[in-house]
Structures are given as structure tokens and as C-alpha cells.
Amino acid sequence: MPTIPFPAPEPQMRKALVIDDHPLFCDALSMTLRTFVGIAEVETADRLSVALDRIDAGARPDVILLDLNLPDVDGMDGLVQLRQATKPVPILVVSSLADARVISAALRAGADGFIPKHSPREMFRAAFDALAAGRRYIPESYVLPEDSGAPASPQEDAVARLSLLTRQQTRILQLICEGRLNKQIAYDLSIAETTVKAHVTAIMRKLGVQSRTQAVLLAKQASFASLLPENTNPA
């Protein structure tokens, strides 16, 4: 007897952008979104920079599915940048690691939901139902801490501070982390060196640091690896 597929819900989200550098997973996820969730149009990007360029060029997805571990970003920095660029758009993190610390940090950084990779398709439908109803989605196995007033970990605090930066300030901080001087940053971004200096001053103020070196160290605290248990490799 042939299997009768579940009817897809009436889509409130018709366009999705999947950001993941694994082609086979992108293909499988795209098929799930189209046939089981009811998404009519699915685009994919294998780099955060590619996705941001499309958004800057006018792409308007109704929902974004993001892998945290991408070739051109480290950890929550990519999520922070994406949140800044697409503030009204729901972002669903899809990661192979469902460690509670990673999920908590993702939610603090602006994610609207979290799904472990290779979850059953029913979980994706449940996540989209939650997003459509204006709710965050987390796996049933993840329990929010009872003491919501507990202080954030150093990594979560770093992510929260980085989320205060504008997109331009985030770009400048990335270049600072690469060891660029103000003059080089001005050339790369086609802006005046005085403008770079003003941004650097604002960056240090928002991050609560006194020097460029401290800003770089804080950015490294938000890295994906710093959130993981020892001897665990992110994927």
C-alpha cells in the first residue's frame, strides 16, 4: 500500500534562504522545505558573504536557515551579522551540534529557533509552525535554565556585546582581527580614515574595552569552539 504523505500546511512563509556549505545537505533540506513544509522557493548560499551580498542586492527571504560552522565566519559572529542585516526575518539555526551552551548562545545572539541537523522532518514542520505563530522553537530535549536571571557565561556575554555593533562596525572589527591598520581598513571599505577612527572608538565603547587588542580577544571569546566541550570538533 503506498504511503500517503502528510499534507503540507498552508505556507505563511514562501521564500527560504539556506546558508550551508554542504551541497548534499542543502539539497535534502531544500526538498524537505518544499515538499513537507510548503516553502515554494528555496535559495542556497555556501558562504555567509554570499548570502549577505544577495540580501544587500535586494533578496527578501521570508525565513533563513543558517549553519553556524561556515568557511568564512567563526561561531556566533555569522549569526550576529545576519541578524543585523535581516532584523525582521526569522532565523532558524540548523547545526550538527545540539549542545545546550551552543543553543543558548544562539538564542542570545538573535536566533528565532534551533534544530539539530539530521532531525526528522516533523521537527522542521514544528519549527515552522512555531515561527509562523511568532514563537521561538527549541528541541524538546533542550530545557531553558530555571534561573533566567543567572549571569551569562563569558562567551554569551561576548556574543551579546558583539550584537550591539552595526554591520559596518562588525566589518571593521573583523578587519581589526585580521591585523589591518586604520589606513588599510579605510582603503578596503572605501571610507575616510577619520571615519574608521570614529568607528573604532564606537566599537570599543560598545564592547566595553580599552584597546584594539582587548576587542580582538573579546571577539575570539564568541567563537564557536569556545562554546564547546573539550575535545569536541564542530561540524
- Tens digits of per-residue pLDDT, 18-44? 999 999 999 999 999 999 899 999 999
Same domain, yes or no, for 158 and 93?
Answer: no
pLDDT-derived band at 91 (thresholds 50, 70, 90) equals: very high
Same domain, yes or no, for 34 and 74?
Answer: yes
Taking all residues of the chain, what is their mean pLDDT, rounded to a whole number? 83
Same domain, yes or no, for 121 and 222?
Answer: no
Total of domains in the chain:
2
**Does 150 score more than 90 pLDDT?**
no
Question: Element (H or E) spanning 18, and its range?
Answer: strand 15-19
Same domain, yes or no, for 60 and 164?
Answer: no
Q: Smallest Cα–Cα separation from 67: which of 108, 132, 23, 4?
A: 23
**Does 144 score more than 70 pLDDT?**
no
pLDDT of residue 210: 92
CATH number, domain with residue 184: 1.10.10.10
Q: Does 25 map to a domain?
A: yes
pTM: 0.72
**Does 48 score more than 50 pLDDT?**
yes
Same domain, yes or no, for 106 and 34?
Answer: yes
Summarize the confidence of residues 128-138 as an average pLDDT. 91
Rg (CA), the chain: 19
Domain carrying residue 46: 15-132
Same domain, yes or no, for 44 and 99?
Answer: yes
Summarize the confidence of residues 73-80 as an average pLDDT. 79
pLDDT of residue 45: 95
∠ CA 162-167-172, nearest 5°, is 80
HSE (CB half, 13 Å, CA atoms) of 174? 18
Q: What are phi and psi of 114, to 5 degrees?
A: -145, 130
∠ CA 130-136-139, nearest 5°, is 85
**Does 147 score more than 50 pLDDT?**
no
pLDDT of residue 27: 92
Same domain, yes or no, for 37 and 99?
Answer: yes
Give SS3 for 34. Answer: helix
Summarize the confidence of residues 141-159 as an average pLDDT. 65
Same domain, yes or no, for 97 and 192?
Answer: no
Same domain, yes or no, for 123 and 168?
Answer: no
Summarize the confidence of residues 148-167 as an average pLDDT. 73
CATH number, domain with residue 48: 3.40.50.2300
